[in-house]
Amino acid sequence: MADNHARARSVIVTGAGQGIGAAIVRTLTARGWAVACADLDGDAAAAVAAETGGIAVQCDVGKEADMERLVAVAGLQLGRIDGIVSNAGIGGFGPLQQTSLDDWNRVLATNLTATFLLAKAAAPHLRRTRGAIVTVASTRAHMSEPDTLAYSASKGGLIALTHSLAMTLAPEVRVNCVSPGWIDTGKHGPLKPGDHVQHPVGRVGRPEDVAAAVAYLLSEDAAFLTGAELIVDGGMTRKMIHT
């Protein structure tokens, strides 16, 4: 595997086993990247890796030892690391009084701390390759529904961490963020016509929409972008609503 991929651009994608993460892997593979597919669900990561010709690494993104192992395995098997896509995330929605400290810490570990750990472990590789990091936040960093406390806080923190990393790792490494809005990953059943109509672009988002944005931010076409947030939400955060 190392011989096959040593000359290709190589990227680590976390949360790669399903949904947006799997779409990112497929899009990057189609554009010539060699991908290390990381996921807590090792079987899911292996399935995506087998489909796309990448490698799979089972890991818990909230654990420092796992992130160090992920970077070491990716560097060894792929030959180099040119990019990081920190996509892994969990919801953990719930009422304030029913949200325990353990619940809060679990969401922040996966959605926020993981990016810090991964950037710390991968920074020497990325500096050598003049690579890029893309984090995946959410429009919930800017707007909320009730009972999304830990999730919204983690995504807001991720945007701040993105621009802090951009300044910390400059000029060798670019760091940018994609903030998806409503993306249909099939988890919540069939969509209704009204779900599409409420979006200014006329439809709910697809995982491939986020994947295209990530691919752009990793590419040389985005060479002058760092510390930026690209909102991928069909215009919803710009829509004024009167009731």
- Which positions are annotated as active-site residues? 151
Which residues of the chain fall short of a pLDDT of 70? 1-7
Closest of 216, 212, 185 to residue 27, by C-alpha: 212
pLDDT for res 16? 98
pLDDT for res 7? 53
pLDDT for res 188? 74
pLDDT for res 189? 81
CATH code, 2-230: 3.40.50.720
Side-by-side strand order, sheet with 34-39 = 55-58, 34-39, 10-14, 83-86, 132-136, 174-180, 229-232
Instruction: Calculate what percentage of the chain has a pLDDT beyond 70.
Output: 97
For 99-114, write each residue's pLDDT tens digit: 999 999 999 999 999 9
Task: Give this prediction's pTM.
Answer: 0.94
Domain boundaries, the chain: 2-230
